[in-house]
Structure 1
Amino acid sequence: MLDLDSHVHADPEKMLFPFRKALIGLGVFITLAGVALLLYFAYMTYQIFNEPGQVRIVQYVLELIQRPNPVIEGSLTVQTPQGPSDMDFSVKMSEEIKTIIFIFLGGIAFSICVGISTTVVNAGVSIIKGAMYKGDTVNK
């Protein structure tokens, strides 16, 4: 005869062991992925400061900065005594202003990427801590 009471009083540690093992593995994987992203961003920063010509995005930004194209172009219709008249206009920026703008936007993008990577690492660590939680104490 099957004894159902033995399952009711089974040790929860033994029942949860496979799930904990899987969660710890997932947490380690997520943490390592976040660390890999952070290392990649550190390497890209190193490349940008040491050999900017080798980084494709830096080459692209330099091409954009050196183009003499106007930033804004358009036409206005102005009322004159002779009737409506169209006037074309364009706004150009110096290379220095373009450089400052691209550095500012690049810094913001870089800090966003590092923040995301840090959050991924923290999520992995939290999953590991949650998997190791046993009642009132945490395994250290």
Structure 2
Amino acid sequence: MDSHPAGEVRPPIHLLASESDMVASLALQTEHRFPVVAAMLLEEIERAELHEADTLPETAVTIGSQVDFVDEKTSQLRIAELVMPAMANIAEGRISILTPMGAALYGLTAGQSIDWPDLDGNERRIRILRVRQPSGAEPPAAA
């Protein structure tokens, strides 16, 4: 089931091949508890361009990325780290991949926007301003 309006063009997304397998497994394991988010994640993984670590755009949101983004409805700037569910703590800015916002951020790159439902099912447009990779995961500098 496509959970997005007909005709809506979603931005291309870029994922690490190894990480996408792990996230797809997680989505399948939690489908009974989080059916909407699991479906969103699986749909996004299916349409993603998969990369190895050395070809992934350095501004792509992966697990562990810190993301600066704007909720365009409220103009609120948020800074969050995308994490696996066990590491999530909204008060500390760690958003689970198994939330609508986490699924929306996953695979986007700096400068992109996407319309995504919030926890209440209302469409929100979020725009990625900046992505910082986890320490030690920076892509090698071009020689």
- Asked if these proteins are the same fold (TM beyond 0.5), I'd say no
Provide the TM-score with structure 1 as the length reference.
0.17
Higher relative contact order (CA 8 A, sep 6+): 1
Provide the TM-score with structure 2 as the length reference.
0.17
- Name the one with the larger strand percent: 2
- Name the one with the larger helix percent: 1
